[in-house]
Structure 1
Amino acid sequence: MRVLLKLRLDCDADAAWRAIRSPSVLREVVAPWLDFSSLEPGGLPTTWPVGTHRLQTLVFRRWPVGESFVDVSYPGGLPRGVRMLRDGGGTITRGRAGLRSWDHRMAISPLPDGRTLYRDRLLVSTGSPAADAALWYPAWSFWQWRGARLKALAPGWAFDPPGTADAAEHAGTEASEASWASGGPDASGADR
């Protein structure tokens, strides 16, 4: 079974890239239907590192339905400007236990207008064509929900908290632009 999303998000590609790599954003996107808590000693990371991460899946953010895992990788060899997160995870117990394969890929690329093109592909199989057919509509519906949540949350992703490298970079750019606009020392691109 295959489920696809293709969205234009109202944030820049760097902000979208930070967001899709964040377990916190994953939890926001699947709410209120699902939630995840970490089964790892250190809890959920700030950003998904490459590797396998065990999770407890919660229905309606409350009731455990089994253990699962995300298996994060960042494929290379993509066209210029495209970044991708791949989750080849699966189920350890119950929950998605009927799934034999899980391949979820999220790609981010900048659009000329400063927004982001987000592409999402889920390939999943139970091993049974009849079960895959029965699962398709609920999976498609949930993916539409995810898409709506991504679009709603994206404008807030552009915020760069003080003290981050991105905030410092933007502050430097803004200061340089302000100096140029006011005719300051680097307005001509050279010292006066």
Structure 2
Amino acid sequence: MAQFTLTTYLDLPLEQAAALVEQPSTLFYVARPLVFFRPVKGQDLPSRWQEGTYWFRLYLWGIIPIGQQAVVISYPDGENFSLLDDGHSWLIKQWRHLIRLTPEGQGCCYQDILEIEAGLLTSLVAGFARLFYRHRQRRWLKLAEQFRP
């Protein structure tokens, strides 16, 4: 199993950052253009993540299919804000991604905390995940800039 945590500071109040984390459209924004998430046909997405399982087809750069992934959403109890995706796919036995927000100054600390298990491919998948989540955090910073006065 591979585990890692990436942390960045968002110049957004925790409540505003949490509202963005809860929107599937934010996932699509922060993942692109590296990874495109397309809901499996016939599946409607809520405007705010509800607890449950959502299936997506994933595409690298929007053109190379890289399989289907279950995004399994829950909201762990906690002092601040957390959203957990306990996802999986045929290749990845466990893709446990916890987003944790904590207040810091005028903004908040944003953490991606990951545990990945993909058998013999764990190192390769985790290497890609590190790249992907660094990309996502850069996109989060860009998104936060749009909300500055």
State the TM-score, normalized to the length of structure 2.
Answer: 0.88
CA displacement 1:5-49 (0-9 Å, x = unmatched): 111101111111011111111111111111112126353221111
1:84 aligns with 2:74: no
Cα distance change of structure 1 residues 40 and 150 upon mapping to structure 2, 3 Å threshold: same
The match for 2:28 is: 27
Task: Determine which of 77, 91, 101 is the counterpart of 1:98.
Answer: 91
**Secondary structure, in 3 states, of the residue corresponding to 1:2?**
strand
Q: Tell me, yes or no, if the aligned pair for 2:116 and 2:126 is still in contact at 8 Å.
A: no
CA RMSD of aligned residues (A): 1.9
Alignment of 1:32-181 (within 5 A): 32-39=33-40, 41=42, 43-76=44-77, 78-79=78-79, 82-91=80-89, 97-111=90-104, 113-128=105-120, 131-157=121-147
Which has more radius of gyration? Answer: 1
User: Which structure carries more relative contact order (alpha carbon 8 Å, separation 6+)?
Assistant: 2
| Structure 1, gaps ≥5 residues long | 92-96, 160-192
The amino acid of 1:117's aligned partner reads C
Q: Tell me how far apart the structure 1 counterparts of residues 41 and 60 of structure 2 sit (CA, whole Å).
A: 20
CA displacement 1:163-187 (0-9 Å, x = unmatched): xxxxxxxxxxxxxxxxxxxxxxxxx
State the TM-score, normalized to the length of structure 1.
Answer: 0.70
Percentage of matched positions with identical amino acids? 25
When you count strand as a share of all residues, which structure comes out higher?
Answer: 2
| Structure 2, gaps ≥5 residues long | none
Cα distance change of structure 1 residues 101 and 84 upon mapping to structure 2, 3 Å threshold: same
- Where do 4+ consecutive residues of structure 1 move more than 4 Å? none
**Secondary structure, in 3 states, of the residue corresponding to 2:56?**
strand
Cα distance change of structure 1 residues 141 and 42 upon mapping to structure 2, 3 Å threshold: closer
**Secondary structure, in 3 states, of the residue corresponding to 2:37?**
strand
Q: Tell me, yes or no, if the aligned pair for 1:37 and 1:44 is still in contact at 8 Å.
A: no
